[in-house]
Amino acid sequence: MNAKVELERIKDAVKEGYLFACLRLPEEMVKKFEEALKLEENPLARRVFEILLENAKIAEREKIPLCQDTGIPVVIVRFSSGVDLSGVPEAINEGIAEAVKEGYLRSSVAHPLTRKNTGTNTPAIIHYEYVSNETFDIWLMPKGCGSENMSRLAMLPPARGIQGIKEFVLNTVKEAGPNPCPPLIVGVGIGGNFERSAYLAKRALFRNPGEPNRDPEVAELEKELLEEINSLGIGPLGFGGKTTALFVHIEIEPCHIASLPVAVNLQCHSARLKKIKLL
C-alpha cells in the first residue's frame, strides 16, 4: 500500500480532534462517574461526582474546556507500511496550535529552563507505532500535569515480583493523595527497560477507559490493583470515599532477567482522549 494523506486533512482532523477532546469526556468516563455516584455513601464524594457530571455537561453544551489545564499534547501515530509520514509531525503541531487559538485553550507548554511559554501549546510529544494492518491513526491526549507530576518509575529487583509491583503502584497512588485530581485512571507499564516502561504506562492510558488487558492474567492483576487502590480511601479529589481510581490499565513487555522496570502514569478525572482514523 502507498498512502499519502493530504497534510491539510491531517491538520484539520487534529485541530477538530484536539478541540473535541478538550470539551468532551469519553462516554466511558461519564458512565463510570454515574456508577460511582450510586456506589458512594460519603456525601462529599457524592457531591464531587455530581459536580464532575455537571461540569462535563456544561463543557459540552457551552463549548468550554472541561478543565482550565488543557494539557501538554501527547500523540500516538499508528501507521502501517506504505504510509508516507513526511510533513506529518508539522501538520499535527499546526493542528494543535490552531485548536488552541480557536478554542481559547490554555497554552501550557514552556521552555523547561527559562519557563518561556511557546504560545501555541506545542510542540506535541509524538510517539510512533508501526502496525501490520493497513492503518493510519492519530490518537490525541491533552495530558494534565497535576496527574503527570505525581507519576513515578522504579527499577525493582526482580525478586520483588508481583508483590513488589503492587506495593510500588499502591505507594505511588497513596503518596500522590489528592494532587493528581482523583478519581484516576492508573496506567502501569511493566517490563521493557527504563524508558520503555514509561512509554508502556502512557500507552496504557490510551486504551479506551475500562477496556481490560487481553491477557486474562494481566486483566486479573488490573482488577486486584483497582480493588486495593480503592481500599486506600483517598476518594474523589481526596475527600474520602470508595472511588480513588476508576480503572487500572496495565501494559507489559519482556525485560532483562536482572531487572523489573515498573512505571506508573496517573491520569486525572479529566481523562481526555480522541482517536482519529485517517485510513
Q: Does 265 bind ligand SF4 (CB under 6 A)?
A: no
Q: Does 65 bind ligand SF4 (CB under 6 A)?
A: no
Stretch that binds ligand SF4, among 17-25, 32-40, 92-100, 141-149 (CB under 6 A): 141-149
Question: Exposed e or buried b for every residue in 24-59, given b needs 16+ CB within 10 A?
Answer: bbbebbbebbeebbeebebeebbebbeebbebbeeb
Distance CA 67, CA 46 (A): 20
Q: Binding residue for ligand SF4 (CB under 6 A) from 10, 48, 67, 204?
A: 67
Q: Does 22 bind ligand SF4 (CB under 6 A)?
A: no
Site map 213..252 versus ligand SF4, x via CB under 6 A? ----------------------------------------
Which ranges in the chain belong to alpha helices (H)?
7-23, 27-39, 43-62, 88-102, 145-148, 161-176, 194-205, 216-230
Site map 76..115 versus ligand SF4, x via CB under 6 A? ----------------------------------------
Q: Does 73 bind ligand SF4 (CB under 6 A)?
A: no
Q: Does 144 bind ligand SF4 (CB under 6 A)?
A: yes
Distance CA 41, CA 31 (A): 18
Looking at beta carbons only, is 95 or 180 nearer to ligand SF4?
180
Q: Does 273 bind ligand SF4 (CB under 6 A)?
A: no
- The terminus-to-terminus CA distance of the chain in angstroms comes to 11
Q: Binding residue for ligand SF4 (CB under 6 A) from 93, 108, 135, 147?
A: 147
DSSP notation for 155-176: EE-GGGHHHHHHHHHHHHHHHH
Please, are residues 244 and 230 in contact by the beta-carbon 8 Å criterion? yes
Residues in contact with ligand SF4 by CB under 6 A are 67, 69, 144, 146-147, 180-181, 268-270
